[in-house]
């Protein structure tokens, strides 16, 4: 299996970096006795996130502006925003974060701490390789929590495999089919960056992600940073 970032993505974002962490041998089952640990982890992430949203109004913060400008470069569903905007908005509203499952909690805490979009997919559910690029349009997509198809738009930037869309509008919306669950044994965790400064934060975030994986799972996984010059990873 390959993970490949296609040329039409680099044409829009030549300075981008897509950071991957491949981890296998997981036991991602929820243990409610660990809820206080993950609540604390998420709360600490939310506190660190406040450094990135000091401006008023909220939309004037640099992180928000950079990702809104990025989303303006390709076709999106109306109202689609970067996943990091959604997390930072919750912080600005002083809303509490609750545990979901260990992998998701870890990447959400890292996403908050470094103000970078993070996501993850169950590698066992990816069919014949994972790609990031422009949609042809009509790729099947069943969002988390939905019971009907919401296919990708032509020229929308999506993660996809042989069976359809995996994430729409970069990491905006997740498909049920490949999402991380308690049954996930092997995963790819992804951090997106579209400029050099974000890329530096993403690299630091990935190292922290490894530390958190080691602390909880006893696994670190392998990090790869995909760029225009190095656009593909063979697993």
d(CA 196, CA 205): 14
Q: pLDDT of the chain along its 235 residues, tens only?
A: 999 999 999 999 999 999 999 999 999 999 999 999 999 999 999 999 999 999 999 999 999 999 999 999 999 999 999 999 999 999 999 999 999 999 999 999 999 999 999 999 999 999 999 999 999 999 999 998 787 899 999 999 999 999 999 999 999 999 999 999 999 999 999 999 999 999 999 999 999 999 999 999 999 999 999 999 999 999 9
Domain assignment of residue 148, given as a range: 2-234
d(CA 128, CA 161): 7
Cβ pair 2, 226 in contact under 8 A: no
| Helix, coil or strand: residue 223 | strand
d(CA 154, CA 96): 36
Q: How many domains does the chain have?
A: 1
Q: Is the peptide bond before 57 cis (omega within 30 degrees of 0)?
A: yes
For the domain that residue 155 is a member of, what is the CATH number? Answer: 3.50.40.10
Helix axes 102-114, 35-49, angle to 10 degrees: 20
- pTM score, whole prediction: 0.97
Place of tokens 């995996």: 166
Listed residue (88, 83, 69, 76) closest to 194, CA to CA: 69
H/E stretch holding 191 reads: strand 186-193
Cβ pair 135, 153 in contact under 8 A: yes
């Amino acid at each position: 299996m390959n993970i490949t970032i296609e040329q039409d993505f680099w044409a829009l974002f030549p300075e981008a970096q897509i950071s991957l962490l491949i981890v296998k041998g997981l036991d991602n089952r929820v243990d409610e006795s660990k809820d206080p640990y993950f609540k604390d982890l998420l709360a600490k992430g939310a506190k660190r996130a406040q450094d990135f949203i000091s401006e008023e109004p909220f939309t004037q913060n640099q992180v928000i502006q950079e990702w809104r400008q990025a989303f303006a470069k390709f076709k999106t569903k109306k109202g689609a925003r970067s996943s990091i905007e959604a997390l930072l908005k919750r912080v600005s509203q002083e809303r509490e974060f609750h545990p979901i499952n260990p992998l998701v909690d870890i990447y959400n805490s890292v996403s908050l701490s470094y103000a970078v979009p993070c996501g993850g997919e169950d590698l066992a559910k990816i069919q014949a390789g994972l790609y990031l690029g422009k949609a042809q349009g009509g790729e099947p997509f069943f969002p988390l929590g939905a019971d009907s198809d919401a296919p990708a738009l032509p020229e929308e930037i999506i993660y996809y495999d042989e069976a359809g869309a995996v994430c729409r509008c970069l990491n905006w919306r997740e498909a049920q089919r490949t999402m991380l669950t308690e049954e996930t044994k092997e995963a790819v965790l992804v951090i997106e960056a579209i400029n050099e400064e974000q890329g530096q934060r993403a690299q630091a975030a990935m190292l922290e992600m490894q530390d958190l994986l080691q602390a909880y799972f006893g696994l670190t996984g392998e990090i790869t940073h995909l760029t225009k010059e190095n656009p593909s990873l063979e697993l």
